[in-house]
Structure 1
Amino acid sequence: MFDGLQQKSIAKQAIFRNTRAAFDTLRRVSQELVVELSRKITPVDSNVLIEYRPVNDMEFHIKFSGDLLVFVMHSNIVTFPDDYGPMPSKYVEQDFRRRFFGHIMAYNFMADSIKYQRLNDPGYLVGRLLINIENHYYLEGVQQLELPDNDMADNLLTPDMMRLFVESAMIAAVNNDLIAPPMQDIQKITVKQKVENQQVSRGSKVGFSFSSEQHHPLNIDGLPY
């Protein structure tokens, strides 16, 4: 029992370090991409801003046009049901430590939702990057992402792969337009909505569709996360 707990704890710490290093790389390539895109678009239209915004060690934002991408590294290590994603693969089955992952999420919000603190506005999970003890990854998300052939045995984290993840998330966000609600749905509002500056006529993004059925992850102890 002690050996098993020790191995799992050591694996958990190693995966966390890998995930933190991956997030640092993701942060760096995002900054570089923002600089490149800004240099290209400013001569064309100086009113179009692309910004990198640091938040803390586990979160940063990219703002472009009316969209905001929020990249978040989670502090916990998770696992999944045996039939989900990479779990049934021979690569994962060969080593129990490969059953555990760090994870980085990319969410798409309307930039004004954050700017004006419209707390009821939704955000959308665009992609999730799973990272294991050997720095192999599994990328899942909306169909608009340029998802690789998800064989973890061949998928090693690289700066180029991280850049593709960011670029694809930006393209997915831009291509998913806002849809305004029908007029009959917004004929009345509450005083609370008015006081809190909630725009009930705001658009919502309905074009995202996911590449696979979503399951809830489990934490490292096998409990629902």
Structure 2
Amino acid sequence: MFDGLQQKSSAKQAIYRSTVATFDLLRHVSQELVVELSRRITPVDSSVVIEYRPVNDMEFHIRFSGDLLVFVLHSNIVTFADDYGPMPTKYVQADFWRRFFGHIMAYNFMADSIKYQRFNDPGYLVGRLLINIDRHYFLEGVQQLELPDNDMSDSPVTDDSLRLFVESAMIAAVNNDLVAPPMSEIQKITVKQKLENQQVSRGSKLGFSFSHQQQPHNIDGLPY
């Protein structure tokens, strides 16, 4: 029992360290991308602002064109059902500890939702980056990302792979248009909505479609 607990604890810590290192690299790649895009677009249209915003050790934002991407490092280590994603591959099956992953989430919000503290506005999960004990990655996301299938055995984390993750998330967010509600839905406004600066006539995102839906489980096998 002691040996099992020790091995699992050591594995969890190793996977978490790999995920933290990946998140730090993702942060660096995002900063470089923002600088590059800003340098290219400012001479064309100085009113278009692209900026990187640090939040804390486990979160940072990229704001652009009315959109906000929120990148979050999750603190838990997860696993999946045997038939999900990379789980049935020979690479994962060859090593028990490759069945467990750290994960980084990318969410899309309207930038004004945060600016004006419209707490009821929805955000949408755009993509998820799974990191294993070898620091290899599996990238999954909404259909709009149009990401190529990746073989986890041949996918070590690199600057280029993380840049693809960020660029694809930005493109998906920009292409996810706002849709205004019909008049019949915004005829009334409450005093509470007015005092809380809720703009009931604002548009909402269309949302995204996922090619897979699966509830992850933590390393102990329970939903988190």
TM-score, scaled relative to structure 2: 0.97
**Match of residue 129 from structure 1:** 129
Coordinate RMSD, CA, aligned: 1.1
- More deviation in 200-209 or 33-42? 200-209
Q: Distance in 1 between matches of 2:45 and 2:206?
A: 28
**Match of residue 216 from structure 1:** 215
**Match of residue 186 from structure 1:** 186
| Partner deviation per Cα, 1:155-187 (whole Å, 9 max, x = no partner) | 211110000110010000011110111111111
Q: Distance in 2 between matches of 1:206 and 1:173?
A: 10
Preserved CA contact (<8 Å) 1:58 1:74 = yes
Q: Distance in 1 between matches of 2:131 and 2:97?
A: 12
**Match of residue 176 from structure 1:** 176
**Match of residue 6 from structure 2:** 6
| Partner deviation per Cα, 1:58-87 (whole Å, 9 max, x = no partner) | 100000010000000011111112222111
Which segments of 5 or more consecutive residues in structure 1 lack a partner in the other structure? none
- Name the amino acid aligned to 2:221: G
Q: Distance in 2 between matches of 1:199 and 1:83?
A: 44
1:202, CA displacement in angstroms?
A: 1.6
**Match of residue 103 from structure 1:** 103
**Match of residue 167 from structure 1:** 167
1:116, CA displacement in angstroms?
A: 0.3
* SS class of match (2:153): coil
- More deviation in 21-30 or 194-203? 194-203
TM-score, scaled relative to structure 1: 0.96
- More deviation in 180-189 or 47-56? 180-189
- Name the amino acid aligned to 1:216: Q
- Name the amino acid aligned to 2:6: Q
Preserved CA contact (<8 Å) 1:30 1:52 = yes
Q: Distance in 2 between matches of 1:121 and 1:107?
A: 13
- Name the amino acid aligned to 2:32: E
**Match of residue 92 from structure 2:** 92
- More deviation in 202-211 or 62-71? 202-211
Preserved CA contact (<8 Å) 1:86 1:92 = yes
| Partner deviation per Cα, 1:98-118 (whole Å, 9 max, x = no partner) | 111000000000000000000
1:200 aligns with 2:161: no
- Name the amino acid aligned to 1:62: I
* SS class of match (1:61): strand
| Partner deviation per Cα, 1:105-147 (whole Å, 9 max, x = no partner) | 0000000000000000000000000000001111111112142
1:211, CA displacement in angstroms?
A: 2.4
**Match of residue 51 from structure 1:** 51
* SS class of match (2:106): strand
| Partner deviation per Cα, 1:177-214 (whole Å, 9 max, x = no partner) | 101111111111222211111112221111521122x1
Q: Distance in 1 between matches of 2:220 and 2:113?
A: 36
The alignment of Structure 1 onto Structure 2 pairs a total of residues equal to 224
Identity %: 83
Preserved CA contact (<8 Å) 2:50 2:62 = yes
Preserved CA contact (<8 Å) 1:139 1:148 = no
**Match of residue 42 from structure 1:** 42
Q: Distance in 2 between matches of 1:87 and 1:202?
A: 42
Q: Distance in 1 between matches of 2:97 and 2:207?
A: 37
1:55, CA displacement in angstroms?
A: 0.4
